[in-house]
Amino acid sequence: MNDGHPEDAQDRSLVGAVPEVLPPGRRRRSQEERRDASKKGLLTAALELIGERGFRATSFQAIAQRAGYSPSLVSHRFGSKEGLLSEMVRRMLSRWGTDVREVAIESRTGADALKAIAAAHRTALEQSPSAVRAMYMLLFESLIDAQELRREFVALDQRLRADNAALLRAAQPPDQTHDDVDAEAQAALFLAMLRGITLQWLVDPQALDLPRVYAALDHMLERGLRR
């Protein structure tokens, strides 16, 4: 029975679900809560499948089946496959920024801040390899024909370079000229090093001794940025 919300009936028809039977004392989820739950389930399924199969082999039908919904709900929620993936990238990058990067940096600046970011990056490789693999698959797909995804990655790189450059400038003494450390160039180089480590690890994880590699990166940051 419809409880008075037209989209509630539409949601149930899309997913083929029966009305919720709630235990005593538990309230019915709101329309917004149901929508958020279905989005989260579909995005999680998409992330898993892209990590397993790649972008092109991941279909609406496969995503819906993995998440336990109908393919029509995927289209209803995101409009297109690229729209779903763009939303997934935005959420992953938002989590990296607020839950990982900012927590790692705390009040650090300069080389100390970049070393903290590098440590968080290593943790992501070691603890969330499927998510990292999926993200890089999408990055390369964005270079081919996924323009909406490419815009997300362009914005990401611009923000990362700007934020890292700001961290480097914040560590410079007031009487030190900006020419002593080219913050923008160093920020771009730091991003390139993290991306390069990731690509080598994705191709052949056994070839990289991550503790040694990141220790060497820390040493490079110390020598290059502490003058």
Domain ranges of the chain: 29-79, 81-227
Say what angle helices 71-78 and 60-67 make with each other, to 10 degrees: 110
- Alpha helices (runs of H) in the chain, residue ranges in sequence order: 6-15, 31-53, 60-67, 71-78, 81-95, 102-105, 110-127, 129-142, 147-170, 183-203, 210-225
Confidence at residue 211, expressed as pLDDT on a 0 to 100 scale:
95
Q: Which two tokens stand for residue 130?
A: 């499927």
Predicted TM-score (pTM) of the model is: 0.74
pLDDT tens profile 108-166: 999 999 999 999 999 989 988 888 888 888 888 888 877 878 888 898 899 999 999 99
The reply to whether 29-79 and 81-227 are identical in fold is no
Any idea which architecture 81-227 has in CATH? Orthogonal Bundle (1.10)
Confidence at residue 117, expressed as pLDDT on a 0 to 100 scale:
95
pLDDT tens profile 193-210: 999 999 999 999 999 999
Confidence at residue 13, expressed as pLDDT on a 0 to 100 scale:
32
pLDDT tens profile 70-90: 888 888 888 877 788 778 888
- Give the right CATH number for 29-79 from 1.25.40.80, 1.20.120.1200, 1.10.10.60, 2.70.70.10: 1.10.10.60
Task: Compare 126 and 14 and report the one with higher pLDDT.
Answer: 126
Question: CA quadruple 25, 41, 130, 190: dihedral positive or negative?
Answer: negative
